[in-house]
Amino acid sequence: MLDACTVRWVCDVDAERARRASTSVGARSTSSLAEVLDDDEVEAVAIATPAATHRDVTHQCLDAGRHIFVEKPLTTTLTEAVVFADVAVRRGLVVVCDHTYCFSATVRRLRTLVRDDGLGELRHIESTRVNRGQPQPGVDVFWDLGHHDLAILDYLLPPDQRPTAVSASGSDPIGIGRACAGELTLYLDGTATAHVRLDWLGHAKVRTMRFEGSRWAASWDDLAEPPRLKFDSGRSIPVANGFEPLHGAVRDFVGAIREARPPAIGVAAELRVLQMLEATRRSQERGGAPVPLLSEGAL
């Protein structure tokens, strides 16, 4: 599928960095987004810039009628994202945020287990995501690391176990003015909960999730090699993609454009994630109190 694509431009505010990157793919380079969008042969744009710039860059690309594949988050406010989603629908444009983990074989296997009652009645989800001293500009740890976990859970959970409320508490031990570590809880329809621990400042990188059901519990360590799901019974299932999940995400994006179909994980999924992230902000402002979520139809 990707053989149908040609990289025409690499655009970066650092012209020399753009030139070096463009050389490796045989593309032209520029430090001007307007120059890229003036090229009528450019059908789609991949946006990999700091989160705070996503609004302006996305707006320019949509205004120019281009399909968009953007790094998370789509924007840093839900209101802006809803506007962009509406514009995309009206103009027939594909807008995809990189919920890349959802294209991994392990997450897809977990989705089957959760949705087909393979674990029994879902009771609790526990997730830990830790980086080593890598605060990101413009967003807090929830909007950076937490976005991955919320995107995974949005993909995994069946419609009758959607989050109904979010509570969050964060800390800023290095004084950068936003949460560098934190914990959030998702209250799901029924009695199940999901707890996510996030930390930019850990001593070792951690990527683990655990799903507890009434029949079985399954654990996933994303850093283990080879990838596998482990069950409390001692049984484990090796899970291999055969391709890089990012490749799968981009392939689906290109396919959606070429085949004039919705992408597998479209902008609606990102709107649900952004609603949860905005709830983490309000919850922190309220001392960690749960913040109710709107139904999907109310977004």
Averaged in consecutive runs of 10 residues, what is the pLDDT profile of the chain (299 residues)? 82 95 94 97 96 95 98 96 96 96 94 92 96 90 98 95 96 96 95 96 95 95 87 84 87 96 96 98 97 78
Spatial CA neighbour of 8 closest among 35, 16, 17? 35
Strands 181-188 and 193-199: antiparallel
How far from 165 is each of 27, 141, 146, 194, 280, CA to CA, in Å?
46, 19, 16, 11, 10
Q: What CATH number did the domain enclosing 206 receive?
A: 3.30.360.10
**Domain count of the fold of the chain:** 2
Strands 193-199 and 95-97: unpaired
Domain check: are 133 and 257 in the same one? no
53 within domain boundaries: yes
The pLDDT value given to residue 1: 46
280 within domain boundaries: no
227 within domain boundaries: yes
278 within domain boundaries: no
Q: What CATH number did the domain enclosing 82 receive?
A: 3.40.50.720
139 within domain boundaries: yes
Domain check: are 38 and 120 in the same one? no
Domain check: are 73 and 164 in the same one? no
Q: Give residue 87's domain range.
A: 2-99+247-273
Q: What is the pTM of this model?
A: 0.94
The pLDDT value given to residue 298: 65
Domain check: are 228 and 91 in the same one? no
105 within domain boundaries: yes
Domain check: are 147 and 290 in the same one? yes
Domain check: are 95 and 153 in the same one? no
C-alpha span between 66 and 158 (Å, rounded): 32
Q: Are the CB atoms for 39 and 65 separated by under 8 Å? A: no
The pLDDT value given to residue 226: 79
Q: Are the CB atoms for 207 and 222 separated by under 8 Å? A: yes
Q: Which residues contact 287 (CB under 8 A, 6 or more apart)?
A: 169
